[in-house]
Amino acid sequence: MRRTRYQEIADELRSRLASGELGAGRLLPSESELSSDYAASRVTVRRALEVLRDEGLVDSRQGFGWFVAADPVRQALGRLGTIESQLEAEGVRSARRVLDFRFVAAPARVRKLLDSETVLRVRRLNLADGEPFALVTVWCPERYGAELSRADVERSPFYELIGVELGGAVQSIGAAAATAHDAELLEVPTGSPVLRCERITSSTSGQAVLVSEHVFPAHLTEFVVDLPHADASIAPSGLRLLE
């Protein structure tokens, strides 16, 4: 029995997925581009993609389009640690690609938090199994960052480098839209949903020693909080409404 055109397109896309040409979590070409590539209508292309979605091979999200199905990167929020260590514990190969390493005048908010006029600012792209999953900017007081090198921060987390006993951190997470710069690095569409997180890490004395901002593609990221005790309220712990 002759296969229909959408089945043929599904077969070809399935082969591309199986070959690794399109890695887990990567965006697929748009329906319009696939329509042109396969000389088929968008209705036909969408039907082929729906077949692959039913098989669990691809998925779609508003603002992203279609992408290769993948388990999200999950970060537990119940303890102070790095997401890289959590990934490695799950068998995921993580890496850091330093994009910018320099001492700069601290932005007003960072200067107030860190009590430092000059800070080491490091911007990096975090990778999971070779694919981008976070864009990170870290600000470190000059007194702690003066002896650090670009190679140091590419190899190890700041927590292991600054020589300060850490007491804890406050992390704020909100929804945002990817800027053109962030979208290019994270390989997502400009304006697509991202999770933007700010973490303020303090020493055991309560002094803030690091400020960091993390930008995650929303379709690949989940934050998990363990809530072992029941309460009268059903609202998520730590929920705050913005004015």
Give the separation between CA 14 and CA 187, rounded to whole angstroms.
Answer: 22
Mean pLDDT throughout 67-84? 65
What residue spans define the domains of the chain? 5-68, 73-224
CATH number for domain 5-68, candidates 1.10.3720.10, 3.20.20.100, 1.10.10.10, 3.40.50.300: 1.10.10.10
Indicate the pTM of the whole model: 0.69
Residue 196 corresponds to which tokens in the numbers above? Answer: 């933007």
From 49-63, 74-88, 130-144, 154-168, the region with the lowest mean pLDDT: 74-88
What pLDDT was estimated at residue 113?
Answer: 95
Which single residue is written with the structure tokens 């029941």?
230
From 13-22, 61-70, 90-99, 227-236, the region with the lowest mean pLDDT: 227-236
What pLDDT was estimated at residue 66?
Answer: 81
Mean pLDDT throughout 32-54? 89
Higher pLDDT, 215 or 240: 215
Instruction: Band the pLDDT of 71: cuts 50, 70, 90.
Output: low
Instruction: Band the pLDDT of 81: cuts 50, 70, 90.
Output: low
Do 5-68 and 73-224 come out as alike in CATH topology?
A: no
What pLDDT was estimated at residue 133?
Answer: 85
For the domain made up of 73-224, give the CATH fold.
Answer: Chorismate lyase (3.40.1410)
What pLDDT was estimated at residue 188?
Answer: 83
Give the separation between CA 18 and CA 233, rounded to whole angstroms.
Answer: 46
